[in-house]
């Protein structure tokens, strides 16, 4: 269970169904704003907490890419914070703070078509990234991004048309849950999630990369007809580390280590950093870079969970990916690592070398899974610690 603290770090600059089916699931430059209030209340239709100190760390990620001609006001970043706050409130999630790569009122002067900035919201359960024509929504715990799909569609396009209207890309993924049966519907089984998504977006393709215990579930739909004329630059790289070494994990993500953690982010020279520490444990951070790429980290360091994720949408070489893993392991090593890569344009996905040049010290590669779907490509690398961790 996480309890929100009124302590947000000062900013330095650091992802479906017919209407009846959907309704059955849905039901009725660095300034931080920390008004939580009623936006943090969880609706009575959702589970409020787990029975013990366990917290479902693995995030569900929903990405929606819209045709710019269908976006309200021409840019999602032009929508007021209150619009996103209302969407989050309907899912029992609070907006804790936000940072922007370039403020909307500045980027809009260059013209909506030129707006490439990002607004990053730190949430009570992960993060929301808003671009001109794209949203990336990451949520952990018991919250459900799928129950909010129609909310996102309505706020982005207005209340009109079928779910697929005005959409160019849909991506939904999550690593293996630890206690999936305790999730809210439709997340209690992958088949249920797929049924929900397929009813909304029948063109989508679903796959499981890896094993049930350490795999990643993926659903993707690409509605861009001629990708040669409109190649997507969207990519995602996500690291999942489980069974964290103790007490290293608890120490690293304690409020008392805040200065060291912020210094860790500064090593990558971000323009904005936004961090939040939960009570009694838990850590979230968003970072924005001058390239308008985001990086985000979420940690549930308590022994009952022992989980870190570190994700970005920056284009990365194999060497940069290896460095990203090594840097994350410096914070707290774990027994298992998953590296998930995704791209809507296959030419953009990073191909990992099948040799020792991508070796992670102390870990052995268990397997690699690759998928090439209609208009997208994905892969998962699974690594396991060579010898047991020393626990104290």
The pLDDT of residue 147: 86
Amino acid 8: pLDDT:
37
pLDDT at 15: 28
Q: Does 47 map to a domain?
A: no
Cα gap 99→119, rounded to integer Å:
6
The two tokens of residue 174 are 């999550």
Residue 131 belongs to some domain of the structure? yes
Question: What CATH number is given to the structural domain containing 159?
Answer: 3.60.90.10
Q: Which two tokens stand for residue 70?
A: 């269908």
Task: Tell me which residue of 101, 102, 88 sits closest to 138, measured CA to CA.
Answer: 88
d(CA 297, CA 303): 18
Residue 45 covered by a domain:
no
Does some domain include residue 11?
no
pLDDT, tens digit, for every residue of 212-254?
889 999 999 999 866 555 667 889 999 999 999 999 999 999 9
Give the residue from 364, 161, 317, 333 showing the smallest Cα distance to 247: 333
Total of domains in the chain: 1
Strand partners, 370: 379
Within a domain: residue 175? Answer: yes
- The tokens describing 372, both together, are 């090439």
Intervals of the chain under pLDDT 50: 1, 3-51, 112-113, 392
What pLDDT was estimated at residue 301? 92
pLDDT of residue 320: 94
Domain of 271 in residue numbering reads as 19-38+55-385
Pair 277, 347: CB distance under 8 Å? no
pLDDT of amino acid 295:
97
3-state secondary structure the chain: CCECCCCECCCCCCCCCCHHHHHHHHCCCCCCCCCCHHHHCCCCCCCCCCCCCCCCCCCEEEEEEECHHHCHHHCHHHCCHHHHHHHHHHCCCCEEEEEECCCHHHHHHHCHHHCCCCEEEEECCEEEEECCCEEEEEECCCCCCHHHHHHHHHHHHCCCCCCCCCEEEEEEEEECCCCHHHCCCCCCCHHHHHHHHHHHCCCCEEEEECCCCCCEEEEEEECCCCCCCCCCCCEEEEEEEEEECCCHHHHHCCHHHHHHHHHHHHCCCCCEEEEEECECCCEEEEEECCCCCEEEEEEECCCCCCEEEEEECCCCCHHHHHHHHHHHHHHCCEEEEEEEEEECCHHHCCCCCCCHHHCCCCEEEEEEEEEEECCEEEEEEEEEECCCCCCC
Q: What are phi and psi of 366, to 5 degrees?
A: -85, -45
Whether 320 contacts 353, CB under 8 Å: no
- pLDDT of 389 reads 55
Contact status, residue 364 vs residue 332, Cβ threshold 8 Å: no
Distance between CA 220 and CA 205 in Å, rounded? 5
pTM exceeds 0.75 for this model: yes
Whether residue 280 has a cis bond before it, omega within 30° of 0: yes
Structure tokens at 213: 């215990």
Give CA separation, 6 vs 35, 48, 98, 102, 283, in Å.
9, 20, 15, 26, 13
What is the pLDDT at residue 158? Answer: 84
Asked whether residue 163 is domain-assigned, the answer is yes
- Domain membership flag for residue 380: yes
Residue 140 within a domain: yes
- Note the pLDDT tens digit of each residue in 54-106: 777 789 999 999 998 899 888 999 999 999 999 999 888 999 999 999 776 65
């Amino acid at each position: 269970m996480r309890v929100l603290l009124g302590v947000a770090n000062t900013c330095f600059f650091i992802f479906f169904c017919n209407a009846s089916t959907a309704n059955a699931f849905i039901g009725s430059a660095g300034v931080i704003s920390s008004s939580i209030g009623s936006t943090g209340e969880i609706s009575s239709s959702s589970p409020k907490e787990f029975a013990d100190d366990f917290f479902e760390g693995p995030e569900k990620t929903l990405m929606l890419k819209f045709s710019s001609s269908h976006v309200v006001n021409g840019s999602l970043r032009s929508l007021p914070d209150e619009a996103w706050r209302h969407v989050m409130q309907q899912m029992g999630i609070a907006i804790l703070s936000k940072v922007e790569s370039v403020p909307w009122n500045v980027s809009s002067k260059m013209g909506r078509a030129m707006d490439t900035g990002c607004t990053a919201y730190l949430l009570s359960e992960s993060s929301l990234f808003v671009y001109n024509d794209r949203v990336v929504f990451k949520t952990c715990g018991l919250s459900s991004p799928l129950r909010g799909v129609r909310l996102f569609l309505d706020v982005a396009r207005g209340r009109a048309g079928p779910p697929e209207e005005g959409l160019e890309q849909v991506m939904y993924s999550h690593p293996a849950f630890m206690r999936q049966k305790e999730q809210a519907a439709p997340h209690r089984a992958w088949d249920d999630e797929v049924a929900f998504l397929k009813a909304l977006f029948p063109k989508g393709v679903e796959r499981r990369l890896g094993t049930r215990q350490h795999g990643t579930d993926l659903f993707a739909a690409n509605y861009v007809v001629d990708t040669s004329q409109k190649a997507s630059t969207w990519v995602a790289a996500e690291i999942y580390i489980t069974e964290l070494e103790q007490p290293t994990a608890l120490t690293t993500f304690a409020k008392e280590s805040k200065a060291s953690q912020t210094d860790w982010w500064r090593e990558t020279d971000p323009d904005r950093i936004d961090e939040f520490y939960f009570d009694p444990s838990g850590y979230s951070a968003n970072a924005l870079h001058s390239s308008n790429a985001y990086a985000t980290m979420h940690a549930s360091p308590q022994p009952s969970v022992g989980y870190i994720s570190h994700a970005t949408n920056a284009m990365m070489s194999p060497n940069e990916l290896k460095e990203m893993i090594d840097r994350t392991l410096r914070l707290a090593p774990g027994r298992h690592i998953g590296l998930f890569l995704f791209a809507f344009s296959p030419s953009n996905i990073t191909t990992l070398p099948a040799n020792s040049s991508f070796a992670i010290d102390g870990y052995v590669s268990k397997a690699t899974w690759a998928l090439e779907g209609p208009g997208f490509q994905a892969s998962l690398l699974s690594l396991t610690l060579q010898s047991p961790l020393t626990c104290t």
